[in-house]
Amino acid sequence: MNGMTVISFKKIGTSLLFITLYLQFIFSQNIPFTCNHDTYFSYHESGGDYFYKFNPSFNFTLIKQLDFSINGLAYNPNDNFIYAINESNFQIVRLDRNGDHLNLGFPVGLPGGSYWAGTFDKNGHMIISGAGDAWVVALDVSVSPPVIVSAVEKYYADGSSGNPVFGDIAVDPISGICYSFENSFGKLVTIDLNSGAVTKIGTDPNPSSHIFGGLYFDASGELTGISLKDIYKINKATGQVTLIGEGLDINSGIDACGCLNDIQFNKSVDSPEVCYGDTITFTFSIINNSDNAFAEVEFADPLHPDLIWLGNPTNTFGGTVDFITLANGYNLLNIKDMQIPPGVSEFSLSAKAIGNSSNFSFIENQAKIEGFTQIWESIIDSNNPITSAEGDATQFKISLTPSLEFDLQSLENECYGSPISLFADVPFSGEYVWETPNGEFIEDQIYIKLNSTFDDSGIYNIIFTDDFGCQIDSFLNIEIAPSPIVNLGNDSMFCLENSFYILAGNFENYTWQDGSNSSDFLVENYGNFSVEVMNEWGCFGRDSITFSTNCSTELYVPNAFSPNEDGENDFFKAYGIEVVNFNLKIFDRWGAFLFESNNIELGWNGYFKGKRKENGVYVYLIEATFLDGTTIRKEGDFTLMR
């Protein structure tokens, strides 16, 4: 049965797992703010910051006294929470409308050391910049800990020296331009979030009067700043500031952020996972925070070809409904002349899954509305309300009757003692259950056994159940083969005088630490020696041995050499370490002098007066002094072999 993969399919009841997890997710969240012309404000006090909100008439209401200090307040219009930086540990925290907070953690790799300017860009990323740091950092705060999306060094675009210093920053929610009041020059600037370039605007006002710890866009879309208790409007074109009100009488660190009333357009689905033939209900929600009614608004939603609309939508606000077939099989729902009142307006519509592919269909479906005026964008894409992104499509999946095979391989002759690692690769989520030859059940996508034995041989069954109840069964066979046992011996200490061989045993292949491939290895010096061997089943074994010296001085003299000019062993010489003085003399066996060297690296090549000496036995005399002052005299004979 080796190499076989068997597939079977079984449709089981639709799981309530998603509904349960979704409800748990919803009820575990903080309570979001209601965007209602308010500005949010904090200032430092011993024991923790005071967190306020105030309306356009500058009436302040205490939300909560926190037990820590915050800075970098930033209102996220994508989820209606406020994000800030805990100044004691630089962790990102999320604040709700009761002042309760959720710790999101410290962004790994955050450059710089101080961060207290914060805002959100139109991509839903939190932008932070330190007053004394040279960085502007974009964070994804939809995950914990937040992830750094980008980090750029800020600099003056006109070439001015120094590091731009910001009290606070604010992104215009309509244009997406980031503004700040630069503290060193006391001047309005724009910040290029892609390059870090800081561009000055207008003439210099009095820098001592307008250092804004809180900078924000108010409910009318005006750039506004707080300099302690004074509140100013700031002309984005000229940088001119105008006093408009007075806040709390304080003299400590402050920060502020605002919520710009806007039009929100959400598109949700009753279940983001469906099966072929199921009915799906879409709910469209238009949240008009502007306090103005809008007429002649047009709605359009091109439905994916794997879906078809069923019936007419409920409550079209007086609009005219058309269903139009487009190219490539898309089904357009078009509603013209809608009347959108202030507040929340909703309607719903059902569709049916009719796709015929053999795999999961991942569908991103997005609607549009247009016809708004004044500061609102003329065309607004629908949001998926379960994410924090702006203008992202509502995504869901269709599970059709799968005819899939697991990406499994039948593993034969796995090695004894090696790990077994089995991975079932299905391109969508679900639950995996392994059944081992021993009758164990493992609920995981991957099966791991760190040290296998012969008892682990046999059939491994895998059952996958997707989020829709579809089930796939498969199996594979594993046979465990013996691994080679190689033993080079025990580590030892000795005084090396002659080279010797170490043996690895009888196997198919050998790889020593130097890349050589013989079954034995010539040891000519101290050190660590290792070998990897492979047996006939393709299993590997390894061992190593260490030889170290116990000699106070070491001088190795070979007992033979072969000066045949083959590049190997062509010179007779001594080997030693830490030798500071050296003399080598060589004589023939009758005592005739042949060669002398005062350099341990220079040896005899087997010639005398330009003529090759014959094979035979020769005599050497060596005197050597080592670094520690020890002097040795060594004499002996060696053989010349060509």
DSSP letter string, 389-406: -SSPPEEEEEE-------
Q: Are 454 and 480 in contact (CB under 8 A)?
A: yes
Confidence at 359, pLDDT banded by 50, 70, 90:
low
* Rama region for 281: left / alpha / beta (φ>0; ψ in -120 to 50; rest): beta
CA distance 74 to 168: 10
Mean pLDDT over each residue of the chain, to the nearest integer: 83
CB 33 within 8 A of CB 76: no
pLDDT (tens digit, 9 = 90+) per residue, 12-35? Answer: 333 344 333 433 444 445 788 877
**Structure tokens given for 556:** 């190795």
Task: State the amino acid at position 104 in one-letter form.
Answer: L
- pLDDT, residue 307, reads 85
- How far apart CA 223 and CA 179 sit, in angstroms, is 9
Q: 36 pLDDT exceeds 90?
A: no
Query: Residue 602: its pLDDT value, please?
Result: 95
Q: Which of 31-45, 80-94, 494-508 has the highest mean pLDDT?
A: 80-94
Measured distance CA(44)–CA(52) in Å, rounded = 12
266 vs 5, residue with greater confidence: 266
Element (H, E) at 285: strand 279-288
DSSP string, 447-470: EEESS--GGG-EEEEEEEEETTSE
CA–CA separation, 458 vs 477, rounded Å? 6
Instruction: Judge whether 459 and 412 are in contact, CB under 8 Å.
Output: no
Q: What is residue 181's predicted lDDT score, i.e. its pLDDT?
A: 86
So what's the pLDDT on residue 192? 94
Residue 427 CB partners (closer than 8 Å, separation 6+): 359, 360
Three-state DSSP class for residue 138: strand
Distance from C-alpha of 638 to C-alpha of 62, rounded to nearest angstrom: 98
Tens of pLDDT along 121-178? 878 899 998 766 788 999 999 999 999 999 999 999 999 888 888 889 999 876 678 9
Which domains are delineated in the chain?
8-12+404-481 (2.60.40.10), 36-258 (2.120.10.30), 263-399 (2.60.40.1530), 492-549 (no CATH), 555-640 (2.60.40)
170, two tokens: 């604010």
Token pair listed for 55: 């309306």
Residue that is written with structure tokens 């109840």 in the block: 469
Q: Which of 87-96, 189-198, 542-551, 578-587 has the lowest mean pLDDT?
A: 542-551
Helix (H) or strand (E) holding 232: strand 230-234
Number of other CB atoms surrounding residue 428 within 10 Å: 17
Q: How far apart are CA 436 and CA 464, in angstroms?
A: 15
Each residue of 74-90: pLDDT tens digit? 998 778 899 999 988 88
Q: Which of 62, 193, 185, 225 is nearest to 129 (CA)?
A: 193
The encoded tokens of residue 415 equal 């090695």
Residues 6+ apart with CB under 8 A from 452: 414, 415, 416, 417, 418, 419, 420, 480
Rounded to whole angstroms, the Cα distance separating 72 from 68 reads 14
State both tokens at 620.
Answer: 């050497």
| Spatial distance between the Cα atoms of 385 and 283, rounded to a whole number of angstroms | 11
Helix (H, G, I), strand (E, B) or coil at 21: helix
Residue carrying structure tokens 């939809």? 142
pLDDT computed for residue 132 by the predictor: 64
Would the pLDDT of 619 be above 90? yes
Angle among Cα 591, 617, 620 to the nearest 5 degrees reads 55
Cα separation, 179 vs 190, whole angstroms: 5
Q: Say how far apart CA 36 and CA 259 lie, in whole Å.
A: 8
Three-state DSSP at 470 gives strand
What is d(CA 367, CA 299) in angstroms, rounded to the nearest whole number?
7
Q: Which of 38-42, 189-193, 386-390, 579-583 has the lowest mean pLDDT?
A: 386-390
> What's the burial of 193, exposed, middle or buried (CB within 10 Å: 0-12/13-18/19+)?
buried
Sheet holding 394-399, edge to edge: 273-275, 394-399, 361-365
Residues 533, 510 contacting (CB under 8 angstroms)? yes
Q: Cα torsion for 84, 87, 89, 95, to the nearest 10°?
A: -30
In 3-state terms, what secondary structure has residue 329?
helix
**pLDDT at residue 537 tops 80:** yes
CB 319 within 8 A of CB 337: yes
State the residue for tokens 């967190």: 51
**Interval 210-242: pLDDT, tens:** 678 889 988 666 889 998 888 999 988 888 888
Q: What is the pLDDT of residue 271?
A: 81
pLDDT reported for residue 343:
72
Which DSSP letter does residue 125 get?
Answer: P
Which positions ≥6 away from 372 have C-beta within 8 Å?
263, 294, 297, 378, 380
Greater confidence, 306 or 529?
A: 529
**C-alpha to C-alpha distance for 428 and 445, rounded to whole angstroms:** 12
pLDDT score for 375: 44
> pLDDT band for position 390 (50/70/90)?
low
In whole angstroms, give the CA distance from residue 535 to residue 533: 7
* pLDDT beyond 80 at 203: no
Average pLDDT (553-575) is 90
| 553 or 356, which is more confident | 553
Res 356 pLDDT > 80: no
Instruction: Name the pLDDT band for 608 (thresholds 50, 70, 90).
Output: very high
Q: What single-letter amino acid sits at 377?
A: E
Q: Could you tell me the strand order of the sheet in which 81-86 lies?
A: 70-76, 81-86, 92-95, 101-105
Per-state percent for the chain, helix, strand, coil, to nearest 5 = 5, 50, 50
What does 524-584 look like in DSSP terms, one character per residue? -SSEEEEEEEE-TTS-EEEEEEEEEE--SS-EE--SEE--SSSSSS-SB--EESSEEEEEE
pLDDT-derived band at 262 (thresholds 50, 70, 90) equals low
405: closest CA among 425, 428, 431? 425
Q: What is the CA radius of gyration of the chain?
A: 40
pLDDT at 486 over 90: yes
pLDDT tens digits, residue range 280-302?
A: 899 988 877 665 678 889 999 99
Residues 201/157, Cβ–Cβ less than 8 Å: no
Mean pLDDT throughout 402-413?
62
**pLDDT value at residue 260:** 66
Q: What is the DSSP string of 480-520?
A: EEPPP-------EEE---S-EEEE--S-SEEEETTS--SSE
